[in-house]
């Protein structure tokens, strides 16, 4: 019975420690982080778009853009978006939408190392 009582006391000590840690974590909680928008589904896509933009510029001499231009077929994606989608398709990934490519282009920063 002494062994059971000893284990019970250890359990209660651990439980009190967890309760104290949870209380401290609740004090430090940043609610703004919980309310922010969901991040990009594929974090590597930004690097692909960023590097693809450099390749696109050097090959075509045109600035990469995900904006639609006037064309006879309004359903057709912009050339740069098609380029990125083809790159992703070659790698066997799920093709990003025009909007996802546009967001990645808009959030220009240096590519992540790795």
- Which pLDDT value is given to residue 110? 55
| Domain extent for 16 | 2-35
- Which pLDDT value is given to residue 18? 96
Domain assignment present for residue 55? The answer is yes
Positive or negative: CA dihedral 6, 12, 13, 14: positive
Please check whether residues 31 and 49 belong to one and the same domain.
no
- Which pLDDT value is given to residue 109? 57
Please check whether residues 48 and 102 belong to one and the same domain.
yes
- Which pLDDT value is given to residue 108? 62
Q: How far is CA 98 from the centre of its chain?
A: 16
| Domains contained in the chain, number | 2
Distance CA 72, CA 68 (A): 12
Please check whether residues 70 and 91 belong to one and the same domain.
yes
Domain assignment present for residue 87? The answer is yes
pLDDT in 10s for each residue of the chain, 114 residues: 999 999 999 999 999 999 999 999 999 998 888 888 766 667 788 888 889 999 999 998 888 888 766 556 666 788 889 999 999 999 888 888 888 888 888 876 555 554
Domain assignment present for residue 90? The answer is yes
Please check whether residues 51 and 31 belong to one and the same domain.
no
Please check whether residues 53 and 84 belong to one and the same domain.
yes
């Amino acid at each position: 019975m002494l062994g059971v009582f000893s284990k019970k006391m250890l359990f209660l000590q651990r439980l009190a420690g967890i309760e104290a840690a949870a209380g401290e974590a609740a004090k430090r909680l940043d609610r703004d982080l919980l309310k922010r928008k969901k991040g990009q589904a594929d974090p590597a896509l930004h690097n692909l778009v960023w590097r693809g933009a450099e390749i696109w510029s050097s090959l075509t001499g045109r600035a990469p853009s995900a904006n639609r231009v006037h064309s006879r077929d309004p359903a057709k994606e912009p050339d740069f978006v098609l380029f990125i989608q083809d790159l992703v398709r070659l790698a066997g990934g799920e093709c990003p939408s025009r909007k996802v490519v546009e967001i990645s282009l808009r959030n220009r920063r240096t590519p992540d190392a790795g």
